[in-house]
Amino acid sequence: MKIYLDGKLVDEADAKISVFDHGLLYGDGVFEGIRLYGGNVFRLEEHLVRLEYSAKAILLTLPLSRAELREAVCATCRANHLTDAYIRLVVTRGVGDLGLAPWSCARPSVFIIAGKIAIYPPEHYELGLAIVTVATRRIGPAALPPTVKSLNYLNNILAKIEARQAGALEAIMLNEQGYVAECTADNIFIVQGGVLLTPASAHGALRGVTRGTVLDLAQELGLPTRETDLTRYDVWCADECFLTGTGAEVIPVVKLDGREIGSGRPGPVTARVRAAFRQRSLTEGVRL
């Protein structure tokens, strides 16, 4: 495997960063997870814009222009002879002193990995997931804006551990007010009375690119949508539920906290959204 590292494509064994990099020491940096479908880098421009916004929010100056980042992503995929892949684009604060001060870091570091990913076993896309609510709360926007996709994922990791301890593959995280924010790695949607409902970013949800795609597709499919407050009760009593994410794509949820959602099987709205997303993923984006 070839890894892009600070302007060069290097062998996997040679893709190394310093132990003094603040991305490693403090989780100081930003990243994007991107998908390649049939030689099409899906919504690459949206991902790069979000990366720029995340970097601006934490006062991290990207060392490459958007055009240079775009070409670096495509070059990494071409070097690995990939047509379908998961791409991880990471920008760290760079090498600095043993202290929090980001101004001790002379230059950010950029690396790109393009490979395979399987978040959930294939059968769950047909049968649906059984998920749980965990005690670990989503970090509030006053502490860390959820729109910043930073390298510090410990909050989500702790929630993922709780999910595993409960025998589930994914978990809902609530915010400090008790409203549904998102899952550990995915956004969440429910269907109630033919309306598609999802938490707003103000409640702790990341503005996911797949989430945004689903909102666009819903409009084209004639499905009314609304960003709103959601509680666990709303999910328990929903007609349907599904999760979205770059790695997960669109996956149905059929049970939360031991309670069946709807009929206990993936519903028709979820099926329509999944089919529309698959079709869109092959046509929208940047060709290699």
Q: What residues act catalytically?
A: 149
Q: Output the six-digit token pair for 21.
A: 């990099």
- Residue 190's φ and ψ, nearest 5 degrees, are -125, 160
Q: Output the six-digit token pair for 156.
A: 């989500």
What is the DSSP annotation of 224-247?
-EEE----HHHHHT-SEEEEEETT
Nearest-angstrom CA–CA distance, 214 and 252: 13
Neighbouring CB atoms inside 10 A of 280's CB total 18
Helices (H), the chain: 22-26, 44-57, 66-79, 123-127, 154-165, 209-220, 232-236, 268-281
The arrangement of strands across the sheet holding 285-287 comes to 8-11, 2-5, 109-115, 85-92, 29-37, 40-42, 285-287
252 Cβ neighbours under 8 A, 6+ residues apart: 125, 128, 129, 240, 241, 242, 266, 267, 270, 274
Q: Output the six-digit token pair for 267.
A: 């519903």
Q: Find the Cα–Cα–Cα–Cα dihedral 60, 148, 210, 225, rounded to 10°.
A: -140
3 state SS of 47: helix
